[in-house]
Homo-oligomer: A and B are copies of this chain.
């Protein structure tokens, strides 16, 4: 069918073509179906259907499509229904329990990156990975394919290092502190982090309270070459871009697909050019890994992969039974970080950050690693480095002003112990959900301040303070606490 181009120039995040509902009916296509636009070459697009935006003989193009097609408004193109991507056959193969080889995985991942597979098709792939598993060779080939289809970072410096935590622990914001300490000690740390998916906040959300985190590859390269480190959002960089698409599907069910988790983390580290990598696997009740046996099982898989890619990998297993630090929520966590960098602040967050820093320095053959880490923190060198990184990311020496602007939400509520006793458990999931009820991560000033960790508590002592910008959310939060009891006292 011949249709007239209408360029819309909006960024849809994928190549979207808008059709009039009558045109769609005539072509027998539905929302999210694929069509193929034939010009000098064939271009695939995802269908969206609107009656008023385009006329019967028109096809509206998102920026992504306009850029590829480079056609003026009213140009005629041939538009047809698209045959299935041949990668669907590979997904079917995997669903049938067969193994995929290197070329097949390369093709599959490339089709995901080029938007030739729908989210539902990716869901079938994720389900097949979960139910039929992947053997070691498949995981290695998956990592190669994921890294190959994306951008790569390259840095000067002998020790390009990274620190990664598999997540799940509320308030556990060690990354900015570890980066500051290790960069101050001479390591190169191009750290890219994620935003919150189901938690109260991600490292990128926390850093964003005082800094620009959406940087280009060119900017990051410059910043890291100047300061030795960066702490930015990884989402917009295009490192292993298939990963973002697969994660977006998995999070629909909060699905834990181990081969994909391994491939996701390792492909991003490889793309970022890191050679010395510390991986933190917290374990315990309420953590992703319930006990040390499961944690070590996962750790061994990381090690085996690291060896194959000739990376220096160190796995640490840490206590994940309760939240770390006092603040949970973007601004609250940033305040904790600043306190630790100024030699105050939550002791548990400080100790864990020092421990991780020492382990990473040791991995990079820094002598007296533990002492070096402590010295960087106590001397203020880490704090100075942190300031330098943030100022460079902001392109302006406004660190002190940015910090002054950090404010907490206006509605607060202190929850106190009704009787003396013992806090026997603080649920990571419960605290994260409570923060979401209070408005995080969208409302950066919202969240929870934990006055206490597991241990004794006296009647009348504060347990936690809630922060939110909305009275209704405060009420919802109190209801949530009553119903789900994120903190258990005996």
Residue positions of A touching B, CB distance < 8 A: 8, 10-14, 21, 26-28, 30-32, 48-53, 84, 88, 91-92, 95, 118-124, 126-128, 130-132, 195-196, 248-249, 252-255, 441-442
Contact = CB atoms under 8 A, between A and B. Distances in A.
A254 B121 CA distance: 11
A442 B26 contact: yes
B10 A92 contact: no
Contact of A121 (B21, B51, B52, B253): B253
A397 B31 CA distance: 37
Q: What 9 pairs between A and B have smallest CB-CB spacing?
A: A127-B127, A123-B123, A120-B123, A10-B51, A131-B131, A119-B120, A120-B120, A88-B253, A120-B249
Contact of A12 (B49, B123, B254): B49
Given A28-B196, A118-B119, 17 more contacts: A10-B51, A30-B248, A32-B32, A48-B48, A84-B252, A84-B254, A91-B253, A92-B253, A118-B252, A119-B120, A120-B122, A120-B123, A120-B249, A120-B252, A124-B126, A124-B255, A127-B127
A31 B10 contact: no
Contact of A52 (B8, B28, B84, B252): B8
Contact of A31 (B13, B51, B195, B441): B13
Contacts of A253: 84, 88, 91-92, 95, 121, 124
24 contacts: A8-B52, A10-B21, A10-B50, A12-B49, A13-B30, A28-B195, A32-B119, A48-B48, A50-B53, A53-B53, A84-B252, A88-B252, A88-B254, A91-B253, A92-B255, A95-B130, A95-B253, A118-B119, A119-B120, A120-B252, A121-B253, A127-B131, A128-B131, A131-B132
Contacts of A130: 95
A98 to B, nearest CB: 13
Contacts of A8: 52
Query: Copy number in this complex?
Result: 2
B442 A27 contact: yes
Contact of A95 (B31, B127, B249): B127
A300 B11 CA distance: 53
A386 to B, nearest CB: 26
Q: Looking at A92, A132, A196, A252, which has the most chain B CB atoms within 10 Å of its CB?
A: A252
A121 B127 CA distance: 10
A27 to B, nearest CB: 7
Contacts of A32: 32, 119
A124 B123 contact: yes
Contacts of A31: 12-14
A120 B30 CA distance: 15
A407 B14 CA distance: 41
A119 B30 CA distance: 12
Contacts of A252: 84, 88, 118, 120-121, 124
A303 to B, nearest CB: 27
A124 B127 contact: yes
A265 to B, nearest CB: 22
A156 to B, nearest CB: 35
A252 B119 CA distance: 10
Nearest to A118: B252
A380 B265 CA distance: 72
